[in-house]
Structure 1
Amino acid sequence: MAFIDMPMEELQVYLGSSPRPNDFEEYWDRALAELEELPDRVELSPAPFKASFARCDDLFFTGVGGARVHAKLLRPIDTPPARSPALLQFHGYSMSSGDWSEKLGYVAAGFVVAALDCRGQGGLSEDAGSVRGNTLHGHIIRGAEDDPEKLLYRQIFLDTVQLARFVMNLEEVDAARVGVKGASQGGALSLACAALEPRIRKVVSIYPFLSDYRRAWELDPDHTAYLELKEYFRRFDPTHAREADLFMRLGYVDVQNLAHKIEGEVLMATGLSDDVCPPSTQFAAYNRITAAKQMEIYPDFGHEDLPGIEDTAFRFLADLIDPEWPDGAGGRCTDRRRV
């Protein structure tokens, strides 16, 4: 293996090194209560993309701070008599919700699919929040020098919950059969969404980002994912006088601190040679999940395409269509090493 930051026996018990604020639960209780006060401003309009078996719409809603948030919404045209399962998709850091055609396989299988554009990244969602302090080199530190309520990932995590609740309330969706899926930042958002909206039944999180920030920084990342932490200290706190305060503040939006709230079944995947989101940071979240879970391990792979993981994810999510799906639903395949 080209890279591993801990032996496997240590990874399997590692619980992270980043702090958890004392008022963490109250912080997220207040955040979720804020959603209840938001105006119900949802707009649906037909998308220019067409498919013979899918209705494709652009969805806009008003998120916290007044931002207009966009998602792609795809629904099967021929809906069954019973309500349909749904899948929420979250994208990687700086990217977008992707092409419409990428989602058609799940629609053809019977899913309603909603794919979020994260605020201020590659899609159509706004970054409407104004914050004090530096916003250089990324979204982790955006708001870190302001009130903790201004942390950008707090707003993005809440956007995932709003999207989940909107989809669950659709007439054609069975709210008890909703899953989430994503890789890297999308993997982190899948964990956060399932933690904050406990009705999420299935969670696919591939090499999740946004976990155990102190550990990621201690490994001295030179890649763009966590580079902003290093750059923050170099430019704005060169003697690390405020180091403890920074990591405590980031603890509010650290997915390892949310993981214990997840109630749905979780499938995670990691490459042990990942030098972008180090394996230990991912295990810090995985080991805190108390719900049913499994981890697919790719010893010789890094932060890249993991062969077969999309098929594994589909079989895992297929329980939401039919527990008797052919070829073994519920992620029960055994073609790779698993924790």
Structure 2
Amino acid sequence: MNKLYECQIEHLKDYRGIGEAPEDYDEYWERAKRDLEKASLDYELVNSDFVARSCEAYDLYFTGVGGARIHCQFLKPKNVKGKAPAIAMFHGYWSNCGEWSGKLQYIAEGFCVLAMDVRGQGGTSIDNGTYKGNTQSGHIIRGLEGDSPDDMFYRNVYLDTAQCVRILQSMEFVDKKNVFATGASQGGALAIACASLVDDLKGAVAIYPFLCDFRGIYQNNFICPSYEEITWYFRQRDPNHLTEDFFFERLGYIDLKNRTKDIKCNVLWMTALMDKVCPPFSQMAAYNNISSEKNIIFFPEYEHEYLLNSGDIILKYFIERLEAE
């Protein structure tokens, strides 16, 4: 590897981000998990018009925490014998769960696939939340000015990811010991959040995760559309930074650098070293706080884009984890 990139990796290997978790952080997430425990595992399946010879395809709906109606694509291999492993998939910021056909490589290997539309973004999930304060743009700060940090948008999205896995595990034809989570960018962040909330997840694969090291992003003067709402918050709501400590304390509840300490499963992480959307230092702040078994793969010449061979690497990871069973 190029010496320049070796130096960059060496510099980042011990970086754990800027700022501490809120004092009541653990209590906050225990309270959130109690809300998750109360959430129903009931779901509705509606036949999809997607046609493939290898699988049955459905639109799946469930009620998330706070009453949101969450939509997912659900694909099940035809003629499942015994119990099948399963994958929960999560998409990028502002996007949706994508094309049905993009999941068929997993169907061919006998996996069920559940791909979630994030509430209130580009898919058909419905977010019924009422948010106090800035809703001009972006979801990172949505609900931040509420009366309680429980009002924050991403708190419930994180809980949605765990509910997806629990729904998969409740299906009689799914092997609940072999359920994985994966995604890229925001989807990578949600796969990691899911792993932090589901103790018996088999494994998680995250490609350049979003939502890491908010104060580090700001203090390093990182300007990018994905994080610009942090700058815009101060420009529009608090130009003299009178509430800066409050602002970053609230973000600390959803910062992945604080969530990753709770991960118990195996994690595969991929980072593009030229990423200008989710910078490597922010990702490493979260990765370095994982204490479970983990591995990171660096792509030195790549930005926030498709990482060559990453699809092959992910499929191999899933299969090898099954073979290790």
TM-score, length of structure 1 as denominator length: 0.91
Q: Using a 3 Å threshold, how does the CA distance of structure 1 residues 40 and 322 change in structure 2: closer, same or farther?
A: closer
- The question of whether the paired residues in 1 share the 8 Å contact of 2:41 and 2:170 is answered with no
Match of 2:24 in 1: 23
Measure how far apart 1:261 and its partner are.
1.1
Counterpart of 1:216, as a letter, is I
Match of 2:124 in 1: 124
How do residues 248-287 of structure 1 correspond to structure 2 at under 5 angstroms?
A: 248-287=249-288
Task: Tell me how far apart the structure 1 counterparts of residues 137 and 217 of structure 2 sit (CA, whole Å).
Answer: 16
Match of 1:174 in 2: 175
Match of 1:335 in 2: none
Match of 1:289 in 2: 290
Task: Tell me how far apart the structure 2 counterparts of residues 39 and 258 of structure 1 sit (CA, whole Å).
Answer: 24
- For structure 2, the residue ranges without an aligned partner over 5 or more in a row are none
Task: Tell me how far apart the structure 1 counterparts of residues 261 and 208 of structure 2 sit (CA, whole Å).
Answer: 18
**Residues 295-319 of structure 1: CA deviation (Å, up to 9, x unaligned):** 1011121111111111111111112
Measure how far apart 1:219 and its partner are.
2.8
Task: Tell me how far apart the structure 2 counterparts of residues 49 and 259 of structure 1 sit (CA, whole Å).
Answer: 36
Counterpart of 1:115, as a letter, is A
Counterpart of 2:203, as a letter, is K
Match of 2:12 in 1: 11
Match of 2:136 in 1: 136
Measure how far apart 1:10 and its partner are.
2.2
- The question of whether the paired residues in 1 share the 8 Å contact of 2:41 and 2:167 is answered with no
How do residues 299-310 of structure 1 correspond to structure 2 at under 5 angstroms?
A: 299-310=300-311
Task: Tell me how far apart the structure 2 counterparts of residues 143 and 171 of structure 1 sit (CA, whole Å).
Answer: 37
Match of 2:92 in 1: 92
- The question of whether the paired residues in 2 share the 8 Å contact of 1:260 and 1:290 is answered with yes
Match of 1:197 in 2: 198
Measure how far apart 1:160 and its partner are.
0.3
Match of 1:327 in 2: none
Measure how far apart 1:320 and its partner are.
4.3
Match of 1:225 in 2: 226
- The question of whether the paired residues in 2 share the 8 Å contact of 1:87 and 1:181 is answered with yes
Identical counterparts, % of pairs: 43
- The question of whether the paired residues in 2 share the 8 Å contact of 1:221 and 1:230 is answered with no
**Residues 91-113 of structure 1: CA deviation (Å, up to 9, x unaligned):** 00000000100001101100010
How do residues 91-110 of structure 1 correspond to structure 2 at under 5 angstroms?
A: 91-110=91-110
Counterpart of 2:216, as a letter, is R
Match of 1:237 in 2: 238
Match of 1:59 in 2: 60
Task: Tell me how far apart the structure 2 counterparts of residues 135 and 72 of structure 1 sit (CA, whole Å).
Answer: 28
TM-score, length of structure 2 as denominator length: 0.95
2:166 pairs with 1:154: no
Select between 110-119 and 220-229 the one with higher mean Cα deviation.
Answer: 220-229
Counterpart of 2:227, as a letter, is Y
Measure how far apart 1:41 and its partner are.
4.5
Measure how far apart 1:176 and its partner are.
0.7
**Residues 235-269 of structure 1: CA deviation (Å, up to 9, x unaligned):** 10111111111111111111111101111111101
Counterpart of 1:118, as a letter, is V
Counterpart of 2:292, as a letter, is A
- The question of whether the paired residues in 2 share the 8 Å contact of 1:298 and 1:306 is answered with yes
Measure how far apart 1:32 and its partner are.
1.1
Measure how far apart 1:40 and its partner are.
5.1
Q: Using a 3 Å threshold, how does the CA distance of structure 1 residues 9 and 29 change in structure 2: closer, same or farther?
A: same
- The question of whether the paired residues in 2 share the 8 Å contact of 1:220 and 1:230 is answered with no
Task: Tell me how far apart the structure 2 counterparts of residues 18 and 195 of structure 1 sit (CA, whole Å).
Answer: 20
- The question of whether the paired residues in 2 share the 8 Å contact of 1:69 and 1:126 is answered with yes
Task: Tell me how far apart the structure 2 counterparts of residues 218 and 125 of structure 1 sit (CA, whole Å).
Answer: 34
Task: Tell me how far apart the structure 2 counterparts of residues 321 and 198 of structure 1 sit (CA, whole Å).
Answer: 17
Select between 169-178 and 219-228 the one with higher mean Cα deviation.
Answer: 219-228
**Residues 100-142 of structure 1: CA deviation (Å, up to 9, x unaligned):** 0000110110001000000111101011100110112200000
Counterpart of 1:168, as a letter, is Q
Task: Tell me how far apart the structure 2 counterparts of residues 216 and 38 of structure 1 sit (CA, whole Å).
Answer: 34
What's the RMSD between the two structures over aligned residues?
A: 1.6
Measure how far apart 1:39 and its partner are.
4.5
- The question of whether the paired residues in 2 share the 8 Å contact of 1:53 and 1:78 is answered with no
Structure 1 counterpart SS, 2:182 = strand
Measure how far apart 1:277 and its partner are.
0.7
Structure 2 counterpart SS, 1:253 = coil
Q: Using a 3 Å threshold, how does the CA distance of structure 1 residues 78 and 41 change in structure 2: closer, same or farther?
A: closer
